[in-house]
């Protein structure tokens, strides 16, 4: 089973008279347990591809299949529900809820998916433990370091047991050593769950944590 299949996917942004082909016709299959690094310069279409794969953005052309479900014709409402159950996101800017502690930030996801509270608390505690944050579960985001906040965001992305986890430059705000630690953790956690992942990075050193590296230049992939 493929976690992601892009078939003839293309994305064109229109601003006034200008057309920007952010993603040229793309075919891509990612098996259910593969970690892919997506590398390319700024403006090459990485976030566009990730957003389409995650059902945050609709392609101009082509079909998107996630976990054997074709999502390209879904309504916004269907997409929201589908994302909540099948996809995990970790963004560059960690957007934790500031007035919730680390564990509660994870439990929000379970609540949206109507998981019973006791089970959600157990799962959140286990994840935070795995991520080396067992002593930090009751800390608010501003009581955590940048690396710790990024680890909470990784835990949050894994709360719904997603089939596909999408990381957009997860280490760009961290120094090299912390970045390597976070990548190591991502690899361990993703492999433990046999989940597929796409990790966008502009740092070629990060590709050693992936099973496969795909390069993107001006919206065109090369394997
Ligand atoms: N909402 C938008 N409207 C118009 N152009 C956009 C929009 N989002 C991205 N672009 C353009 O599409 C191209 C790819 O952008 P993006 O996917 O964000 O690249 P990357 O993540 O690799 O930096 C860039 O030229 C960018 O300026
Ligand atoms: Mg980007």
**Of the residues 22, 58, 199, which should be mutated to test ligand 1's pocket, given the most ligand atoms within 8 Å of the CB?**
22
The third-level CATH classification (topology) of the domain covering 32-57+75-222 is: Rossmann fold (3.40.50)
Using alpha carbons, select from 102, 113, 184, 188 the residue that is nearest to residue 149. 102
Q: What distance in Å separates the CA atoms of residue 12 and residue 83, rounded to the nearest whole number? A: 23
In terms of phi and psi (left: phi > 0; alpha: psi -120 to 50; beta: otherwise), the region of 87 is beta
pLDDT at 173: 82
Ligand 1 pocket (Cβ < 6 Å) reads 13, 15, 20, 22, 40, 42-48
Q: How far away, in angstroms, is 58 Cα from ligand 1 center?
A: 14
Per residue in 154-188, is it b (16+ CB within 10 Å) or e — as a string? bbbbbbbebbbbbbbbbbeebeeebbbbbbebbbe
User: Measuring from atom 2 of ligand 1, which residue has the nearest CA?
Assistant: 13
pLDDT (tens place) for every residue of the chain, 223 residues total? 899 999 999 999 998 999 999 999 999 999 999 999 999 999 999 999 999 999 999 999 999 999 999 999 899 999 999 999 999 999 887 789 999 999 999 999 888 888 899 999 999 999 999 999 999 999 999 999 999 999 999 999 999 999 999 999 998 888 888 889 889 999 999 999 999 999 999 888 889 999 999 999 999 999 7
Indicate which ligand has the atom closest to the C-alpha of 15. 1
Using alpha carbons, select from 76, 63, 74 the residue that is nearest to residue 25. 63
Q: The pTM is what?
A: 0.94
Q: What distance in Å separates the CA atoms of residue 174 and residue 4, rounded to the nearest whole number? A: 28
User: What is the Rg, in whole angstroms, of the alpha carbon atoms belonging to the chain?
Assistant: 17
pLDDT at 92: 80
């Amino acid at each position: 089973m493929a976690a992601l299949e892009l078939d003839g996917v293309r994305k064109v942004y229109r601003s006034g008279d200008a057309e920007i082909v952010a993603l040229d016709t793309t075919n891509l299959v990612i098996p259910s347990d593969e970690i892919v690094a997506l590398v390319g310069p700024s403006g090459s279409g990485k976030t566009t591809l990730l957003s389409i794969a995650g059902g945050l953005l609709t392609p101009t052309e082509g079909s998107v299949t996630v976990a054997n479900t074709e999502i390209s014709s879904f309504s916004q409402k269907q997409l929201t529900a589908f994302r909540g159950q099948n996809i995990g996101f970790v963004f560059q800017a960690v957007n934790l809820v500031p007035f919730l502690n680390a564990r509660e930030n994870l439990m929000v996801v379970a609540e949206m998916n109507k998981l019973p509270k006791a089970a959600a608390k157990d799962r959140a505690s286990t994840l935070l433990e795995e991520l080396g944050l067992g002593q930090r579960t009751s800390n608010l985001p501003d009581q955590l370091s940048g690396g710790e906040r990024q680890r909470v965001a990784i835990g949050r992305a894994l709360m719904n047991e997603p089939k596909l986890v999408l990381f957009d430059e997860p280490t760009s705000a961290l120094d090299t050593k912390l970045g390597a630690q976070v990548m190591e953790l991502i690899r361990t956690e993703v492999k433990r769950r046999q989940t597929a992942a796409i990790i966008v990075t502009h740092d070629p050193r990060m590709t050693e944590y992936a099973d496969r590296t795909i390069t993107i230049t001006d919206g065109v992939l090369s394997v």
